[in-house]
Chain A
Amino acid sequence: DTGVSQNPRHKITKRGQNVTFRCDPISEHNRLYWYRQTLGQGPEFLTYFQNEAQLEKSRLLSDRFSAERPKGSFSTLEIQRTEQGDSAMYLCASSSIRPARTDTQYFGPGTRLTVL
């Protein structure tokens, strides 16, 4: 399967614990995005990487959230001291810089986080 993969698919944690999610983009894609989606809502942008550089972070990404893409390939999203409001689906997407102006984002299956 050459699509975007995310692990784990589901995570249940207790409030206050740290969690880390992983995203493996499509291999030739140099852009990688993280989104958060709550029930009945569209995805909300969290952060964006071009290669290993984190070019933008949403204000939704509080100090408890950190994302990395150390070698420009896979990415991790860590949430520290989780809160119940962090419960959501975390989606990763990747895209290629070429062809320009189309930049279709291909989404992974998401990681569903439940904070008890």
Chain B
Amino acid sequence: KNQVEQSPQSLIILEGKNCTLQCNYTVSPFSNLRWYKQDTGRGPVSLTIMTFSENTKSNGRYTATLDADTKQSSLHITASQLSDSASYICVVSESGGYQKVTFGIGTKLQVIP
């Protein structure tokens, strides 16, 4: 069964600090991995997407890495801001005629002043 596991489940950091969120997956055959940010009560918003051949991708203060061999990804947030408080969801897609996606349960990040 395809699974996506994220850690930690929740995290509290001080404003201005950096943090790293982890994602391990067993999805196969792999197509791509995305990180989404979901504010409370809203739909997820895409941050980054990486295919098999990409090791790292940045979007402003967000940097995602992918190790397709170990099936691990991380999302690094630099110089955190209060607006970064949200759930961060790792989503992995299978390749095929159409893409099936498996969602992690997310890491709930709280940035405090």
Contact = CB atoms under 8 A, between A and B. Distances in A.
Interface size class of A (residues with CB under 8 A): 20 to 34
A105 interface: yes
Interface stretch (A14-22, A80-88, A106-114): A106-114
Interface stretch (B13-21, B71-79, B97-105): B97-105
A102 interface: yes
B110 interface: no
Contacts of A33: 101
B93 interface: yes
A40 to B, nearest CB: 7
A55 B105 contact: no
Contacts, number: 58
Specify the main secondary structure of chain B where it touches its partner. Answer: strand
A104 B100 contact: no
Interface residues of B, number: 25
B44 A107 contact: yes
A42 B98 contact: no
Contacts of B31: 101, 103
Given A48-B98, A50-B98, A101-B51, A109 B32 contact: no
Interface in B58-106: 89, 93, 95, 98-101, 103-106
Given A40-B105, A42-B103, A102 B51 contact: yes
B113 interface: no
Contact of A91 (B43, B98, B105): B43
B95 A101 contact: yes
Contact of B99 (A41, A103, A107): A103
Interface in A74-94: 89, 91, 93
Contacts of A35: 103
A-B pairs with lowest CB-CB distance, top 5 = A107-B43, A42-B103, A42-B105, A107-B44, A43-B103
